[in-house]
Structure 1
Amino acid sequence: MGDHLEVFLGVVLMASTVFGISSCSFDRGIALYRFCNLTQVPQVPQTTKNLLLSFNFISNVTSMSFPFLEQLQLLELGTQFTSLTIDKEAFRNLPNLRILDLGKSEINFLHPNAFQGLPHLFELRLFGCGLSEVILRDGYFRNLESLMHLDLSKNQIHTLHLHPSFQELNSLKSIDLSFNQVTTVCESELKPLQGKTLSFFSLATNSLYIPVSVDWSKCGNPFKNMSVETLDVSDNGWSVDRIRNFSNAISGSETFSLVLAHHVMGSGFGFHNIKDPDQNTFAGLARSSVIKLDLSHGYIFSLNVRLFETLKELKLLTLAHNKINTIVEGAFYGLDRLQVLNLSYNLLGELYNFNFNGLPQVAYVDLQKNHIGIIQGQTFRFLKNLKTLDLRDNALTTINFIPSIPTIFLGGNKLVTLPNINLVTNFIQLSENRLENMANLYFLLQVPHLQILILNQNRFASCTQSFVPTENLSLEQLFLGENMLQLAWENEVCWNVFKRLSYLRVLYLDSNYLNFLPPGVFSDLTALRELYLGSNRLKVLSPGDLPANLEILDVSRNQLLSPDPNLFASLSVVDLRHNQFICMCELNIFINWLNQTNVTVFGSPADIYCVFPEPLSGIPISTISMEGCDEDEALQPLKFSLFLVFTVLLILFLVTVIIVTKFRGFCFFCYKRIQRLVFKDHPQSMDPDTYTYDAYLCFSSKDFEWVQNAFLKCLDTQYSDQNRFRLCFEERDFVPGNNHIVNIQDAIWSSRKIVCLVSRHFLRDGWCLEAFSYAQSRCISDLNSGLIMVVVGSLSQYQLMKHQSIRGFVQKQQYLRWPEDVQDVEWFLHKLSQQILQKQKEERRNSSIPLQMVATIS
């Protein structure tokens, strides 16, 4: 990766030169001379602290190359485009140099005394310089008493016979010998390092102990009497036997972190020719105080019994990127101090109750990117110190096994619904699942102590029932981006989902297809500071839509046409990029606000542009002039419009007659809407003291579904707050257990009007015909027209006259017919409502008469 970064840096710097941005300059103590085609070190001011000379053609560095630069601390001579020759005491005029970088420069000649005279040098970078083992053997690093970091990676070193002068490097902490050709390392070769404590020692990617056979009794312990915080011997192609031999060889040497990544241990999936590690593999590390062990990127298939039993002090175990499919019972016995277990990127499919036995102190278990579909209920229950469980990107369909722990990652699974379990957590991540019903969201909002809830990329779109949210005094951040809340909210349900979240500070609702915000949906969010509504379809924001204490608002990538700047006045930051602004005079106030506001408007001005009218499309609105929008000039288009209106008035009248005839239903709807808006038309008030119901709706039970959609949803108050009538019908209002005739009589005498919906089912229903007869009796008793008959379907006069109870009404009274054309339904319901509201000719008689009649009949 380092090579790619250097090439990228080179391309960027070369591009800067091509486009006229010179890199050959000095500024504030930094001399930048990359890609300057230099063949020798340039003269720089004595105040230079950093001198950067990479990507040039400098071939010789001598003691005369540098003037006396007392303040220079960093010298970069790496990646020269020619071979480099470095003479004796080449850097002696740089007494305070701390970092010397010669990496990626092919060194043709390096004098043994090249680094003399650098008492403060603490980092020396010699990676990729084509150096051999001579650099270690011949004392090139003598007298560098401050040297801490030595990078000799990516060279051509074959052996590690260290010069005795290494014993004098008392500050040395880090040695990187990775990517060389070292085949063996024995005790005698590293003897000058004995007694030292190193923070990092790397022999990675060397084919160590591979091509040769090692007599470990003669080779001894390479790290004898040494203490290494991190020992990296990864990517050496070691099998179980070589790791066992190496572990036994370094037994007793303190190695706090051992990196054995990119090994070849394990049979892999479907193979059996290479052994998985067993309890003897790491036995030699028992006295090495290993705290961290990295066994990632291998082929381990099975974790065998008591595999890590000897690693009593181990706290972090990484087994990621193997082929682990089986965890044998007792595999983790002995790891009494383990705190972090990483099993990600393996082939686990099921987890059992015994899998994690023997881990009393584990706090973090990483199981992401496996294929886990089934987990037994007690798998994690006995991990008493577990704080974080990562199960992202598996195949889970339930979470019954989840313990009460502070942090849970469950994203990228196959959860369709959540069970009703006692869940207690501070952080839960459930993004990229298949949750659809908002009942699951209400359940999660009730989780005790929950502070952060992440539900991005689910499918929340369904709300099948109303919920009463409970107060949540802990939730601070809620992520609901990339769902489909619009589908739920457009049905006027679940508008209270954010109620009682008085501590919520951050809310993400981006990419939810929202084209409106339900009234008062954010009214309870008194602590909300950040609201993200980007990538929706909002066309307008109204006063009161946003919380009063909001500080950061993202409404980018919506369809706002002409926003009210007063909505943003109290914010600190607002993102308005990529909306659909109409740059006409109505936008003048917003443009003036945008050019003068103290609110931080996120993004480039070029991202806030016009989409209409066409000549201004794509033009940043901050550059639009609105000088022609004064009052006199604004009236000119109005006068011209009035002239056109009066000119075509006659034509419009004729067209209107045709339209009204053709689209009479829609016209009637518009008429009623205009009547309510312009003339403040209010529903006529009913007398609540006289009747319990405004009307008794009598119909066959077989017609209930149609009646509900056609009448109840449009007229009954319990179906919608916008309706005006208190209707009575059998399925809801008849008292169960009462005599059916008594229920019918009570409904008739408790209602102002009786509406009989006469259909084919009605004519075949004896109870309906009986109710019709009682309704006629009530009308005769009260001497009024309280019965309204509505014929539904294609019933002829003859079919109606066949029934004696209906015949008399049809002969004397007018009745209504349900319209065949759907556009007449609105008018019909209006007509029916007027008849229900029509006052009776005479007041209702004394109730003693119908009561006597009821008593006689029953």
Structure 2
Amino acid sequence: MGGRLDLLLGVVLMVSPVFGISSCSFDGQIALYRSCNLTQVPQVLNTTERFLLSFNYIRKVTSSSFPYLEQLQLLELGTQWTPLTIDKEAFINLPNLKILDLGKSQIDFLHLDAFQGLSHLFELRLFACGLSDAVLRDGYFRNLNSLIRLDLSKNQIHSLYLHPSFGELNSLKSIDFSLNQISIVCENNLKLLQGKTLSFLSLAANSLYSKVSMDWGKCMNPFRNMVLETLDVSGNGWTVDITGNFSNAISGSQTSSLILSYHIMGSGFGFNNLKDPDQNTFAGLARNSVIRLDLSYGFIFSLNRRLFETLKDLKVLNLAHNKINKIAREAFNGLDNLQVLNMSHNLLGELYNSNFYGLPKVAYVDLKNNHIGVIQDQTFRVLENLSTLDLRDNALKTINFIPSISDIFLSSNKLVTLPNISLTASFIHLSENRLEHLDVLYFLLQVPRLQILILNQNRLSFCSQSQSTSENPSLEQLFLGENMLQLAWETGLCWNVFKGLSHLQVLYLNNNYLNFLPPGIFSSLIALRGLSLNSNRLTVLSFGDLPANLEILDVSRNQLLVPSPNLFLSLSALDITHNKFICECELSTFISWLNHTNVTIFGSPADIYCMYPNSLFGVSLYSVSTEDCDEEEVLKFLTFSLFILFTVILTLFLVAILVVTKFRGFCFVCYKTVQRLVFKGHPQGTAPDTYKYDAYLCFSSKDFEWVQNALLKHLDTQYSTQNQLNLCFEERDFVPGENHIANIQDAICSSRKIVCLVSRHFLRDGWCLEAFSYAHGRCLSDLNSALIMVVVGSLSQYQLMKHQPIRGFIHKKQYLRWPEDLQDVGWFLNKLSQQILKKEKEKKKDNNNIQLQSVATIS
């Protein structure tokens, strides 16, 4: 895959060498001065080989305009924005010039000797220069003995009267007279070309013979004693009669390729004013040895009987872009040597067994972009040498008619399933159909000698039961993109679909909604080199998911969070752009690998970016620092060393710890009992301060009964004299009639600590969330830990993070979680009391470095 891309790139560079330098510059061999607003030819070194001067304002070229450039081979002087004057021997200082391009420059004056001295010139481009008949009549091309190609298209030439010097142009092979105004060409016009062999002669788009009354008896054969490899007379508006007369007139002149496209032959769909060609239309070409005939872009509606009977040597017939709806029996009779038949872009609806009789050697039939919905079973089976059948963009619902051929194109039809028929093909194209069941895929994977299978843009999503696999030793490329394989694989079925493909090299699974890869799905693909998984929903790739010998992997536009670089060590190229990377320390290994790997990474660095945390959103992974993560790794190492050092000591206390853990509630009760006995007569209290309450208890009114039983009875002094906390809560301490916000603010300001009991009811209570915001604001302004958050019930991190004030708190602070085990309640209440009574010094923490972060929670 990569080799083909490199080869293509090399070809582009070879054919476009001037792309490597900027405009208005010179590199010693190529002088590129396009669109530089020049009014005269600039001076360049005598080493120049290519001189490009188009799109300027040069008005005049004389014999002194160019320095002596012995090595110059190409001069481009076309498309000047002002009229151009070319003086006598204007190019005399360019003795080895091979290509001269003056196209699209309006030539006001062309001296008769303008091209003298160009003995090595083999291509002269004079298209769209406003030239008249004089350019042919007056001998402008004298002494151009090496001239091979002459382009005089798009001028104002009305008649072909050739100067005698044309008889001396022995190297001339190609002449283009298209898009002029030449109405008649007769034998006397081209006498000077008799005896020559031309590879190309174009008289296209001249209204030739179509707007004048012709006496073919006097005009005779314009190409007598000439050999024409390609004759282009397209776009002249020829009817069946003109085409027939022309065929008869040129009878006997050898013409290998005849282009008659853009004609007006045929009645068209729904009209009868013009007739379709018949067996007499091309009868005159019987002795012309026509090998290629182009009748495309016309209005032929019906292919009449024995239409091409006289064209015994024809190998390529192009009937594309007509209105063909009917094929008469024996329409192709006589085409014993035809190999390629193109009938694409017509109006065919049904094909019958007799349609293609008389084509014993045809190998390629192109029927794409018709309206074909029904084909009889034997239609193509009579074509013994058929190897390629193109039926794209039709309305087929079955393929019972398909013979055993090498290349089958059936994309963009209406196939819902495939019949169990015998197929033998090396290439099958079935994209853009309506195939749903993976039975189709299992069936096609059993086709002998199949090398390439394309099933993109179908609906493959259903697998009724596991299918048995069969070896396919020939399949090399499999395209399954833009289907719905996730729906099939999530049922646990069809995980063996690739088991028999030991020679598969390229596999496309893009756009299949995949959120997982079935275990071992690629285990049999030992020859796989390229894999496309782009535009799916994969969040993780595990070891063993990818084939061992994979070289090129595309996992772009997935949802990979923290990929392991060890997955990509065997690759030579990787596309991992547009994923959803979580830029925390877990990703540091991948970031380091990304910056140092020899693997070719497709896409720009800006396309590989962080999605989380928000502080790094959109930042390229190449710009993310991992220094802090290195310190964390060192800390982990030291911690592990200490763990090893004290393992023996910890083992000695293991039993004790287990006992305490198992009976921690009882142990805590004993501890409190001993504490009361020791401090009997010495009540513990807190020093008076400026706060009215020890803590403001913020909770939802729907949780009041639970709060009263679980906390108030064990902490609040008004519930029991043994309790030591003076608590404030809404049901008891808020002033009736007072503004609720004012009550909340007063409670927060009058309390040393604010305890928010976050439950499901709390998250739905707007007043509770408002109170949390005020409390959090006090923490930020006073730089202390006045806010204590207690999570009650089975609330997940995600549910908490949905609320902005809570999310801001837990990003920076720890929170408590109400214990699930009843024996931990006493210990928890004691710890909560200590935090409420604790007075902390104000701290200020400044962190200016962008680094990888993780959220710590207490469970």
- Which TM bucket (shorter chain)? 0.7 to 0.9
Shift of 1:586: 1.1
Pairing 1:380–2:370 present: no
**1:628 alignment counterpart:** 628
Q: Which residue of 2 aligns with 1:475?
A: 475
| Other-structure match for 1:157 | 157
Matched, 1:493 2:493: yes
Partner of residue 348, structure 2: 348
Provide, for residues 344-366 of structure 1, a one-character-per-residue CA deviation record: whole Å limited to 9, x for no partner: 00000000000000000000000
| 1:657-672 alignment runs, 5 A limit | none
1:42-57 → structure 2 map (5 Å cutoff): 42-57=42-57
Task: Letter of the 2:288 partner, please give it.
Answer: S
The AA in structure 2 aligned to 1:442 is Y
Supply the distance in 1 between the matched residues of 2:634 and 2:273 (Cα, whole angstroms). 88
Q: Deviations over 1:526-569 (max 9, x none)?
A: 11111110111111000000001111111011111110000000
In 2, the alpha carbon distance for the partners of 1:336 and 1:57 equals 57
Aligned to 1:309: 309
- After superposition, the Cα gap between the structure-2 partners of 1:270 and 1:48, relative to the gap in structure 1 and judged at 3 Å, is same
Q: 1:60 is matched by which residue type in structure 2? A: K
- Please tell me whether the aligned partners of residues 757 and 792 of structure 2 are also in contact (alpha carbons under 8 angstroms): no
Note if 1:29 corresponds to 2:29. Answer: yes
Residue equivalent to 1:568: 568
Corresponding residue for residue 427 of structure 2: 427
Q: Aligned with 2:593: secondary structure?
A: helix
1:503 correspondence with 2:503: yes
Shift, 1:615, TM fit: 2.4
Question: Between Structure 1 and Structure 2, how many residues are aligned?
Answer: 635
Listed as ranges, the matches of 1:56-135 within 5 Å are 56-135=56-135
Structure 2 counterpart of 1:550: 550
Amino acid at match of 2:415: L
Structure 2 alignment gaps of length 5 or more: 1-15, 640-753, 760-788, 800-859
Q: Which residue of the partner structure matches residue 705 of structure 2? A: none
How big is the shift at 1:46?
0.8
Structure 2 counterpart SS, 1:588? helix
Could you tell me which residue of structure 2 aligns to residue 605 of structure 1? 605
Give the structure 1 partner of residue 703 of structure 2.
Answer: none
For residues 108 and 651 of structure 1, what CA distance do their matches in structure 2 show? 90
SS, match of residue 486 in structure 2: helix
Inter-CA distance 654–197: structure 2 relative to 1 (3 Å threshold) = same
Amino acid at match of 1:340: V
Whole-angstrom distance in 1 between the partners of 2:482 and 2:143? 62
Distance 1:610 1:28, change over 3 A: farther
SS at match of 1:611: strand
1:450 alignment counterpart: 450
SS at match of 1:58: coil
Q: Give aligned-pair identity as a percent.
A: 73
2:278 matched residue in structure 1:
278
Q: Could you say which residue in structure 2 is the equivalent of 1:780? A: none
Partners in 2 of 1:520 and 1:37 — Cα distance?
65
What SS does the aligned partner of 1:190 have?
helix
- Counterpart in 2 of 1:207? 207
What is the rounded CA distance, in whole Å, between the counterparts of 1:619 and 1:101 in structure 2?
Answer: 51
Q: Note the alpha carbon deviations across 1:196-234, whole angstroms, 9 max, x for none.
A: 000000000000012211111100101000001000000
Q: What is the match of residue 581 of structure 1?
A: 581
Render the CA deviation track for 1:181-208: whole Å, top value 9, x for unaligned: 0000000000110000000000000000
Name the CA distance, whole Å, in 2 between partners of 1:630 and 1:522: 36
Q: CA deviation at 1:627?
A: 1.1
In 1, are the aligned partners of 2:392 and 2:413 still within 8 Å (CA)? Answer: yes
Q: Secondary structure at the match of 1:408?
A: strand
What is the aligned partner in structure 1 of residue 262 from structure 2? 262
Paired position in structure 2 for 1:252: 252
- SS of the aligned residue for 1:606 comes to helix
After the TM superposition, which residues 184-263 of structure 1 pair with which residues of structure 2 at under 5 Å, given as runs? 184-263=184-263
Moved more, 445-454 or 306-315: 445-454
Superposition CA RMSD, Å: 2.1
Cα deviation, 1:368-393, whole Å, max 9, x if unaligned, reads 00000000000001100000000000
Quick one: which amino acid aligns to residue 354 of structure 2?
A: F
- Report the counterpart of residue 595 of structure 1 in structure 2: 595
- Tell me by how many angstroms 1:630 deviates: 2.8
Shift of 1:609: 1.2
Q: State the alpha-carbon separation in 2 of the partners of residues 651 and 284 from structure 1.
A: 97
Structure 1 residue matching 2:586: 3-state secondary structure: helix
Give the Cα separation in 2 of the matches to 1:623 and 1:372. 57
Instruction: Read off the aligned partner of 2:113 and give its amino acid letter.
Output: N
Return the letter of the residue paired with 2:144.
L
Distance 2:591 2:489 in 1: 32
1:791-849 deviation per Cα after TM superposition (whole angstroms, max 9, x unaligned)? xxxxxxxxxxxxxxxxxxxxxxxxxxxxxxxxxxxxxxxxxxxxxxxxxxxxxxxxxxx
CA shift for structure 1 position 466: 1.7
Which residue of the partner structure matches residue 288 of structure 1? 288
Cα distance in 2, alignment partners of residues 419 and 658 from structure 1: 56
CA distance in 1, matches of 2:196, 2:371: 45
Secondary structure, aligned partner of 2:187:
coil
Q: What SS class does the counterpart of residue 100 from structure 2 fall into?
A: strand
Alignment TM-score, normalising by the size of structure 2: 0.72
1:701-743 deviation line (CA, Å, top 9, x unaligned)? xxxxxxxxxxxxxxxxxxxxxxxxxxxxxxxxxxxxxxxxxxx
Q: Aligned partners of 2:522 and 2:74: how far apart in 1?
A: 55
User: Could you tell me how far 1:649 is from its partner in structure 2?
Assistant: 13
> Per the alignment, do residues 368 and 648 of structure 1 end up closer, same or farther by CA in structure 2, a change over 3 Å counting?
farther
Query: In the TM superposition, what whole-angstrom CA distance separates every residue of 1:483-518 from its partner, at most 9, and x where no partner exists?
Result: 000011111111111111111111000000101000
- In structure 1, the partner of 2:358 is 358
**Counterpart Cα distance in 2 of 1:577 and 1:655:** 39
Q: Which residue of 1 aligns with 2:412?
A: 412
Q: How does 1:717-796 map to 2 (within 5 A)?
A: none
Q: Secondary structure at the match of 2:590?
A: helix
Displacement, 1:180?
0.4
Per the alignment, residue 141 of structure 2 pairs with: 141
The residue aligned with 1:525 is: 525
User: Any conservation in 1 of the 2:106–2:130 contact (CA below 8 Å)?
Assistant: yes
**Distance verdict in 2 for CA 1:632–1:172, change over 3 Å:** closer
Question: Deviation string for 1:727-773 (max 9, x for gaps)?
Answer: xxxxxxxxxxxxxxxxxxxxxxxxxxxxxxxxxxxxxxxxxxxxxxx
Q: Does the residue aligned with 2:395 lie in a helix, a strand or coil?
A: coil
Letter in 1 for 2:595: N
Distance 1:114 1:630 in 2: 77
The offset of 1:460, in angstroms, is 0.2
Write the distance in 2 (CA, Å) between the matches of 1:658 and 1:556. Answer: 37
Pairwise CA distance, 1:28: 3.4
TM-aligned CA distance change 1:650 to 1:275, over 3 Å: closer
Per the alignment, in what secondary structure is the counterpart of residue 67 of structure 2? coil
- 1:97-156 superposed Cα distances (whole Å, 9 cap, x missing partner): 000000000000001110000000000000000000110011100100000000000000
> 1:584–1:111: structure 2 CA closer, same or farther, 3 Å change rule?
same
1:579-605 CA-partner distances (Å, limit 9, x unpaired):
111111111100110111111111222
Separation in 1 of the partners of 2:593 and 2:632? 23
Report the Cα distance in structure 2 between the residues aligned to 1:393 and 1:657, rounded to whole angstroms: 61
Distance 2:69 2:377 in 1: 69
Alpha-carbon distance in structure 2 between the residues aligned to 1:264 and 1:532: 48
- What's 1:752 paired with? none
Against the structure 1 CA distance between its residues 525 and 159, is the aligned structure 2 distance closer, same or farther, given a 3 Å change threshold? same
Cα distance, 1:617 vs structure 2? 1.7
AA in 1 matched with 2:282: F
Measured in 1, the distance between the counterparts of 2:582 and 2:755 equals: 28
* Contact persistence 2:460–2:484 (CA under 8 A): yes
Distance 2:362 2:792 in 1: 79
Give SS of 1:189's match: helix
Distance across 2 between alignment mates of 1:52 and 1:296: 37
